[in-house]
Structure formats: structure tokens, C-alpha cells
Amino acid sequence: MSDAVRVYEVGPRDGLQNETQIIPTARKIELIDLLSRAGFRKIEATSFVSPRWVPQLADAAEVMAGIQRHDAVDYAVLTPNLKGAELAIAAGADELAIFASASEGFSQKNINCSIAESLSRFEPVMAVAEKAFVPVRGYVSCVAVCPYDGAVDPRAVRDVARRLFDMGCYEIALGDTIGAGTPESIRRMIEEVLTEIPAERLAGHFHDTGDTAIDNVRVALDLGLRTFDSAVGGLGGCPYAPGAKGNLSTAVLVEMLQAEGFDTGIDLQALALAEACIAAMKSVPPT
């Protein structure tokens, strides 16, 4: 496998959506512009979801219209349904992201439907994306532990990942949603998924609730994965584990990868400016 590793920045979406304080649109645009200059090739910019459910991302169209686009950067948008996909494509998204759970309990609690029903809802999303020549990335949540069902069978992760792959997702991100995965459980899960999907089509998305995210990345690297999600400043949190850490910090991930000889293409000094932007966001009292 290559010594190059792609770091997929998810902070502007997966990170900011969990912030209780509404972040001004201009600040979000500033953050994405700083990340664009730091060397990322993939930035998850926002999500077209109902503002009733995720008020923090109610300004998705304004954010997409305001960012300074770089030719080398793909700006991704999470889309839970056909309406969201159509809005994202109209806003100029370079790729879409869809998500399904490997746990029935989480699927019911999170999106009020079964896993099978959630997958069927993505068929029109895939169709409209194909017509617009927009690639789609698939997420599988709760790949290790579900907050409702407990430990998740790796075979369930494999099956959902395969369904998303067969639907046409170019890459499947394996999400440890509550950060309860250990190197042992993550290894078992990835080994099972690899029986159906090649490593170059998989990504690791590890939350750091249990301080195991970096160790989980190392396991995934050992198994051939070369794409990992992270969030600038460790943004994210977890609504199912109050007070817990959120996504793996991008700086921590990049520093580890570079120290171990992997080429990320990320400028750490430029990344520090984006982290300073996050700090400035959080220092402003809510209005």
C-alpha cells in the first residue's frame, strides 16, 4: 500500500453540528477557507438537514455560497434524503454523503426507521447523484458499540457496508460513533468488512471518547486503510456520552501519521490557524 494517507476533514459538519452555541455563518466560512489552504483534499462542509433537527447547520446554502473554493479540494455535503441531495447538488457540492447504522437500535432512535428502510431511502439519492455526476460516500455508524444495543456484530457492519458499496458509494467510512471501539474490536470489525470490500475503498472514522482513536487508526493502517476522518480542534462531542471527547483531532492524527513516515500533504502551521479560528468561535459569548 502507498505511504500516502488522506485525511478527510469533517469538522465543519460533524464537528460543528454538535455545538450548542450557534456559530455565525461568516465564522464557518472562515474556518472552511482556512482548511482549504491547509492542504486537505476532502472537506465535509455542511449538511442539508432539517433545521428543526440540526439548527446549527440551518445556513448550509449560505455556507456553500460563501466559501472560496479551491480546485484541489472536494467540498462534501451530508444528505439524509432526496430533498437534501437536491439542495446540496444545487449548492455545488462536489460529493454527497449518506449514512446508515449497523445497529437496529441506533437506526430506530436516530432516524426512526429500520436499517433496511434507511437503505431504501438512499436509492433516489443515488439516482439523482448519478444523474448529476456527483460521487457519493457512505457512512456506517456504530461499527463497534451501540448506545442502545451494546456490542455490534462485525458481520452486521460488513452487510451494511456491502449494501452501500453495491448501491454505488465510492468509499465507505466506518464510524465508531460513541468512541467505544478498542483496537481488538476494531480489528475484528475491519477484518470482517475486508472480506467484502477492499481496503482502498474504506475509511476509518474514530471518535476519541475512550482515548483509543489513535490506536484504532494504527490498527486500520496495519490492515491497509489509507483514509481517515478527523475534525479540526477535536470538534464533535457525542450526544450519547455527555462530556465525552468528540472526533479524533486532526492535528493529533496528522502529527502521528507524519511521525510514522506517512505523507498527508497537510501543512500543520496552516492547520494551526484553523484551530485558532475554532478557539475564537468558542470564546465569543452567545447572543
Q: What structural domains and CATH numbers belong to the chain?
A: 6-283 (3.20.20.70)
Count Cβ atoms within 10 A of the Cβ of residue 113 and give its class: 0-12 exposed, 13-18 middle, 19 or more buried: middle
pLDDT tens digits for 154-174?
999 999 999 999 999 999 999
Active site residues: 238
Residue 281: the pLDDT is: 77
Cα-flanking dihedrals φ and ψ of residue 76, to 5°? -95, 155
pLDDT tens digits for 111-140?
888 999 999 999 999 999 999 999 999 999
Residue 1: the pLDDT is: 44
What is the model's pTM?
A: 0.94
Residue 112: the pLDDT is: 83
Residue 168: the pLDDT is: 97
Task: Report percent pLDDT > 70 for the chain.
Answer: 94
Is a pLDDT exceeding 60 seen at residue 243? no
